[in-house]
Amino acid sequence: MTLDTFEALSVLSAILGILILGTTLLRTNLSFYRMHTLAIAAVTAWIAHITKEDHLFVVALGVFLIKVIFIPNFLNWVMKKVDVGSDKQAFIAAPLSMHLGALMLGLSFLLSKQIPGLVGGHDSHLGSTAAMSILFTGVLLMLTRRAALSQIVGFLVIENGIYLFAITQTHGMPMLVEMGLLLEVLVGVMISGLLLFNIKKSFEHIDVSQLTELKD
């Protein structure tokens, strides 16, 4: 089976998402997130090319500027300020998490065949497979990591999965909706960064598992 550009970029984004699970080094996590999101921006641009929807080029540019350039750089800056470089006390070892992510990719392929309306659409199957795999990867990241910064990355990966599913199955929502979602993600990340500063200042750590012990 030969993959065309659309399918190859979708699968590449899913694989790069899984690689985020393979290390607890936060800087490396953000680098993989950057490349993973760049592949999704490329999917958006390619869909714009094949559908002749010019507004999707604007959306692809927005994804690139906000989610590939600004957000990783902002989180790297936050990481330096809170002086945390890794998520050493993850609940599940990074290699095992990555293998679970690979299994989720296979499960996503099986699940995509059960979605009504996708029968006969090979690119739709691979698009939905990649999107569900990314969604599972984000959930797994949030469930297995303890550092608050890892939780933010997990949330961003989940959002990428939802976005990829929407863009590959609808071939583009109205630009106002797309740009509104990007703005919400941007604001959410900036607020999360401010919360990280407050958590670090108040408790001298960003381990979310320890926040369950807070009392009035």
DSSP letter for 89, please.
T
State the residue for tokens 């990867």.
Answer: 137
Query: Quick one: how many helices (H) and strands (E) in the chain?
Result: 8, 0
- For the record, the structure tokens of 49 come out as 């090319």
pLDDT score at 58: 87
Burial readout 95-110 (b: 16 or more C-beta within 10 A, e: otherwise): eebbebbbebbeebbe
pLDDT score at 188: 67
Give, in degrees to the nearest 5, the angle at Cα 18 between 145 and 3: 165
pLDDT score at 199: 56
pLDDT score at 180: 63
pLDDT score at 152: 84
Model pTM above 0.75: yes
Contacts for 44 with CB less than 8 Å, ≥ 6 apart: 56, 59, 60, 63, 167
pLDDT score at 144: 85
Domain segments of the chain as ranges: 5-213
pLDDT score at 120: 44
Which residues is 66 bridged to in the sheet? none
Phi and psi at 53, nearest 5°, equal: -95, 100
Pick out the chain residues at pLDDT < 50.
Answer: 1-2, 119-120, 122, 202-206, 208, 214-216
Which residues is 207 bridged to in the sheet? 147
Length of the chain: 216
Side-chain-side CA neighbours of 121 within 13 Å: the count stands at 17
DSSP letter for 147, please.
B
Side-chain-side CA neighbours of 155 within 13 Å: the count stands at 13
Alpha carbons 37 and 167: distance in angstroms, whole number: 13
Alpha carbons 104 and 177: distance in angstroms, whole number: 29
Closest CA to 150 of 202, 90, 101: 90
pLDDT score at 119: 42
pLDDT score at 64: 92
Alpha carbons 193 and 198: distance in angstroms, whole number: 9
pLDDT score at 192: 65
pLDDT score at 114: 77
pLDDT score at 163: 87
